[in-house]
Amino acid sequence: MVAQGRPSREEAEEAVRTLLRWAGDDPTREGLLGTPDRVVRSYEEFFAGYASDPMELLARTFEETDGYDEMVVLRDIRFESYCEHHMVPIIGVAHVAYLPRSRVVGISKLARVVEVYAKRLQIQEKMTSQIANTIDEVLQPLGVAVVIEASHQCMTTRGVHKPGVSMVTSRMLGAFRNDPSTRREFLAMIGNPSPAGSMF
C-alpha cells in the first residue's frame, strides 16, 4: 500500500529541515544536524504498516482443533499509532475475538494485524473497522469482535488539553452483533471497557 510518487529519502530529510526552519530554529546548528536523518528513520518505523498486507498475515490457518468451537480472544494488544489529522501519537490497547467456523489462526497473527493497521496514519474508528473486516474476510468465522481503547495526544497535548481521557470504539460482526449473550461474554472477558455497557 505504498503511495505512488513517493518522495526520496533526501526529499524527506529536506522537508524536516524546512519544518525546523518554520519552527524558528536553525537546522545547521550542531544539535540539529542529525535530526532530519533520525526523524526519517523514526517515520520508517512509525509507518511500516504501509509496506505490509494484513490479508497475507492470516493466510495460513489450521483446521486440526479437536472440535474447538468456542470464542478465541486476544486481549490487551498494546499499540502505538499516529493521528492522520495532526500526526501525533494514539496509544492504546486492542481486544480482538473471533468465533471459529472451521479454521483458526496463530494468535500472533491477530496481534500482527493490529500492528500493521496501527503503523499507518489513522483515526481510531477506521482502524477498528479495518481490523475486524480483515479478520472476517479472510477467516470467514461465525463472528468477529474488536474493541479499541486509546488516548489521543491530539486531545491531551493540544486543543482542549484534556489528559486522562480515553476513547473506546467497537466493531461487532456476525454472532457478536446479533447475539447479545455472545457479545456479553466477550465484553466480560475483556473487562467491559464501557462502565454501563451502553456503548456496545
Catalytically active residues are: 83-86, 124, 152, 154
Instruction: Provide the grid cell at 55.
Output: 490479508
CA distances from 48 to 10, 87, 107, 120 (A): 18, 15, 21, 7
- Those residues whose C-beta lies under 8 Å from the C-beta of residue 30, and which sit 6 or more positions away, are none
Ligand-binding annotation for 154, yes or no, is: yes
Per the listing, cell 503503523 goes with 119
Cell, residue 172: 461487532
Q: Helices in 119-179 by DSSP H: which ranges?
A: 124-139, 153-156, 175-178
> DSSP state, 32?
G
CA–CA separation, 60 vs 104, rounded Å?
9
Alpha-carbon distance of 63 to 139, in angstroms, equals 11
Taking CA atoms, 13 is separated from 4, 10, 34, 51, 121, in Å, by 19, 5, 10, 20, 19
Could you give the CA distance from residue 68 to residue 138 in angstroms, rounded to a whole number? 19
Give the annotated binding-site residues for Zn(2+).
83, 86, 154
Give the annotated binding-site residues.
83, 86, 154
